[in-house]
A and B are shown apart, each in its own frame.
Chain A
Amino acid sequence: VRPVYAAPDKISDKVEESIKNAEAACGENPASGECVAAWDEVEELSAAASHARDKKKDSDPLEAYCKDHPETDECRTYED
């Protein structure tokens, strides 16, 4: 059984949610392990979100199309 993977848009929701949780967890005791672990989760999700953004940004629409349709006029390339 394959696990379900979240889409990049869902990471943004998760980041927002984790920040709220961290702020709540730190309200009681800012030096507690609970608070520190909550902010660590924020960092992990922010990093994941930024990596997902970078991946998305890199994709050229023509390149993506040509991967699937290499034989079309706009995609054909010859070595010589």
Chain B
Amino acid sequence: MAICTVYTTKLNPACSSFSTPSKTHLGFHQKQVVFYKKSSSRSTRGTSPYFITCSAGDSQTIVIGLAADSGCGKSTFMRRLTSVFGGAAEPPKGGNPDSNTLISDTTTVICLDDYHSLDRTGRKEKGVTALDPRANNFDLMYEQVKALKDGVAVEKPIYNHVTGLLDPPELIKPPKILVIEGLHPMFDSRVRDLLDFSIYLDISNEVKFAWKIQRDMAERGHSLESIKASIEARKPDFDAYIDTQKQYADTVIEVLPTQLIPDDNEGKVLRVKLIMKEGVEYFSPVYLFDEGSTISWIPCGRKLTCSYPGIKFTYGPDAYFSHEVSVLEMDGQFDRLDELIYVESHLSNISTKFYGEVTQQMLKHADFPGSNNGTGLFQTIVGLKIRDLFEQIIASKAKTPVEATKA
């Protein structure tokens, strides 16, 4: 296999150390591509990228998309997901301290804010939010995600959340699993078609408000009014550009206020729905007791003691945006571990490698938000389903090597 060297001096003089070809920790050879820009990052729209490609690699990158609004627990989900694959996810070593990327042995998580075409000042001048497609460069997003999927390293820009500026790019090597997380992973149809699996975190307005109060009330300058005003101001763009993506997701995790406590608006006890699309290749939905039946289950009783307000599971087939789906719902929260292992033993198709793996994963991160309710449980299960999907795709590609190198 050929190896080539690409010098990236035009983009960023500080990057020359990246240009040495090397074998990565994944064990396959890397290729690199450079996206030349015409001066500033704002002019990239419409200009075609200049590809430097070498021979086809034996890399097999699968791409996962995770969509959610800011402050909705994307980073917690990412930490649970990378933990399923083993090894801690860390920012790239020695690079920009404000990089949004997380890298572990198998997984690289990139934040789609890095594809903002307008920086903070630019958005203010034009009067658009980060949710607006006009503030994002979907051409570059498509080109770079496609390149990574084809096993080609890219120079990805960095959007600095502290300064609100676009920083010099960083080198991203093709990982085994690429996760793109942010506001618009399923917005552009070309990017959407690259995804092997997609997830949407759907937080209801009541819960979003409660979570943001928890997050921001301690912060100087914030008040109930400012939190409310910020949510309301962003809502039109959120409804128009972000919320519409959930129809394309293979799995939606919906977080709602509990129905176990009448008129609860604290947002501490949650009702969480795991909506899983039927007929997705390499993905078979989780079920409770009997696949395809409609079941309501309260695990509390003689075998399990629960404190108020208890736990209630619901499972059944449903329709979601005219797709056939299976829905698993959990209302309430766990007090102790034995409840979780009891629940795990009654779920089927959770893609665990050994009995108790879900419980073990949850225990490992008992300090993460959501570890005592359905958000943590379903995020962990989705993590295991992604591992299963990854293993199936790799196995099927190994069987038909001709098709795998079609790029």
Q: Given A11-B162, A12-B219, A47-B161, is A40 in contact with B129 using a C-beta cutoff of 8 Å?
A: yes
Q: When the two chains form their complex, are residues B163 and A22 in contact, meaning their CB atoms are under 8 A apart? A: no
Q: Given A5-B163, A16-B221, is A39 in contact with B234 using a C-beta cutoff of 8 Å?
A: yes
Interface string of B132-161 (1 = CB under 8 A from A): 000000000000000000000000000011
Q: When the two chains form their complex, are residues B222 and A37 in contact, meaning their CB atoms are under 8 A apart? A: no
Q: Which residues of the partner chain B approach A33 to less than 8 Å between Cβ atoms?
A: 126-128
Q: Which residues of the partner chain A approach B167 to less than 8 Å between Cβ atoms?
A: 3
Q: When the two chains form their complex, are residues A40 and B123 in contact, meaning their CB atoms are under 8 A apart? A: yes
Q: Given A44-B120, A44-B161, is A19 in contact with B128 using a C-beta cutoff of 8 Å?
A: no
Q: When the two chains form their complex, are residues A16 and B230 in contact, meaning their CB atoms are under 8 A apart? A: no
**Closest residue of chain B to A12, judged by CB?**
B220
Q: When the two chains form their complex, are residues B71 and A43 in contact, meaning their CB atoms are under 8 A apart? A: yes
Report the separation of the CA atoms of residues A23 and B220 in the bound assembly, to the nearest whole angstrom: 15
Report the separation of the CA atoms of residues A37 and B226 in the bound assembly, to the nearest whole angstrom: 14
Q: When the two chains form their complex, are residues B127 and A40 in contact, meaning their CB atoms are under 8 A apart? A: no
Q: Given A36-B129, A44-B164, A46-B71, is A5 in contact with B221 using a C-beta cutoff of 8 Å?
A: no
B233 to chain A, nearest CB (A): 4
Q: Given A6-B163, A34-B127, is A15 in contact with B220 using a C-beta cutoff of 8 Å?
A: yes
B177 within 8 A of partner (CB): no
Instruction: Say which residue of A3, A34, A41, A46 sits within 8 Å of B165 (CB atoms).
Output: A3
The listed residue with most A CB atoms (<10 A of its CB), out of B75, B120, B127, B233, is B233
A40 to chain B, nearest CB (A): 4
Q: Which residues of the partner chain A approach B128 to less than 8 Å between Cβ atoms?
A: 33, 36-37
A69 within 8 A of partner (CB): no
Question: Which residues 5-25 of A have a CB within 8 angstroms of B?
Answer: 5-6, 10-17, 19-20, 22-23
Q: When the two chains form their complex, are residues A35 and B233 in contact, meaning their CB atoms are under 8 A apart? A: yes
Q: Which residues of the partner chain B approach A66 to less than 8 Å between Cβ atoms?
A: none
Q: When the two chains form their complex, are residues A39 and B75 in contact, meaning their CB atoms are under 8 A apart? A: no
Q: Which residues of the partner chain A approach B26 to less than 8 Å between Cβ atoms?
A: none
Q: When the two chains form their complex, are residues A37 and B75 in contact, meaning their CB atoms are under 8 A apart? A: no
Q: When the two chains form their complex, are residues A5 and B216 in contact, meaning their CB atoms are under 8 A apart? A: no
Interface string of B100-138 (1 = CB under 8 A from A): 000000000000000000001001101111110000000
Q: When the two chains form their complex, are residues B124 and A37 in contact, meaning their CB atoms are under 8 A apart? A: yes
**Closest residue of chain A to B161, judged by CB?**
A48
Q: When the two chains form their complex, are residues B229 and A37 in contact, meaning their CB atoms are under 8 A apart? A: no
Report the separation of the CA atoms of residues A14 and B163 in the bound assembly, to the nearest whole angstrom: 10
Instruction: Say which residue of A11, A15, A32 sits within 8 Å of B222 (CB atoms).
Output: A15
**Closest residue of chain B to A1, judged by CB?**
B14
Q: Which residues of the partner chain B approach A34 to less than 8 Å between Cβ atoms?
A: 124, 127
Q: When the two chains form their complex, are residues B221 and A20 in contact, meaning their CB atoms are under 8 A apart? A: yes
Report the separation of the CA atoms of residues A63 and B126 in the bound assembly, to the nearest whole angstrom: 46
Report the separation of the CA atoms of residues A72 and B123 in the bound assembly, to the nearest whole angstrom: 51
26 A-B residue pairings within 8 Å (CB atoms): A5-B160, A5-B162, A13-B220, A19-B226, A20-B221, A22-B233, A23-B226, A23-B229, A26-B233, A34-B124, A36-B128, A36-B129, A38-B124, A40-B130, A41-B120, A41-B123, A41-B124, A43-B70, A43-B234, A44-B130, A44-B161, A46-B212, A46-B219, A47-B161, A49-B219, A51-B75
Instruction: Enumerate the 10 nearest inter-chain pairs by beta-carbon distance, A residue then B residue, closest first.
Output: A33-B127, A16-B221, A39-B233, A40-B129, A48-B161, A19-B221, A39-B230, A47-B70, A6-B162, A36-B233
Q: A3-B163, A43-B230, A46-B216 are in contact. List 11 more A-B contacts (CB 8 A).
A: A3-B165, A5-B97, A5-B162, A16-B219, A16-B220, A36-B234, A40-B230, A42-B230, A43-B71, A49-B219, A50-B71
